[in-house]
Amino acid sequence: QKKNLYQKNGFFNKTLSHTHLPIENYRAPTIEQVDLFFRLINDSTKTPLLVHCGGGKGRAGTMLACYLAVYGFQSPSAQEWTQPFMSAGEAIDKLRQLRPGSIETEEQERFVHTFVSTVWKRQSPLPPLPAEPEGIPLDIEGQLDGNIDLVMLCGLPGSGKSYIAQEMLVRDDRWTIVSQDEARSRDTC
């Protein structure tokens, strides 16, 4: 029965990913956390996106109010962005009409105003990506020959393995990434 429901709704054999942004209960996120949230929203491989917290009103509501203020009810790619769609106060009011009780603390409310102000100042929903440093030699320990055909990245969760793998792929599309993060299974690797 569940399989048929998943097939009907297009969820069957789909890859799901999870991004945890640790925000203490009743607190506001940081600007950087909302920037990361916006990067996820702007990445079509990461959508649709589910936003949730413990109760689904405070921390999640703060993130969604920031989204409403910047993009309104449009998808980020559906418009040429020139300025926030609405004020922080309007976004909070709209969100509370849709989900009463959203944004539970004054700190969270103030943060939405702060974030919208930040977006106005930088004239973009997202900060520019930092340029890659130029002229810095790569330090390599050991000897490498020109016939490298396997790179194995080992490390703790969150240590940057997936990022490095993606950056390698950007620089040379001949690489193939085999990752339990992407395959959702250790057996694949």
Nearest to 56 by CA among 97, 87, 30, 25: 25
The H or E element that residue 183 is part of is: helix 180-183
* Alpha-carbon gap, residue 186 to 168, rounded angstroms: 22
Judge whether 154 counts as a catalytic residue: no
Catalytic residue among 53, 66, 154, 189: 53
Dihedral pair phi/psi, residue 171, rounded to 5°: -80, -25
Burial track 54-92 (b if 16+ CB lie within 10 A, e otherwise):
eeebbbbbbbbbbbbbbbbeeebeeeebeebbbebebbb
Burial track 25-51 (b if 16+ CB lie within 10 A, e otherwise):
eeebbeeebbbebbebbeeeeeeeeeb
Q: Which residues are catalytic?
A: 53
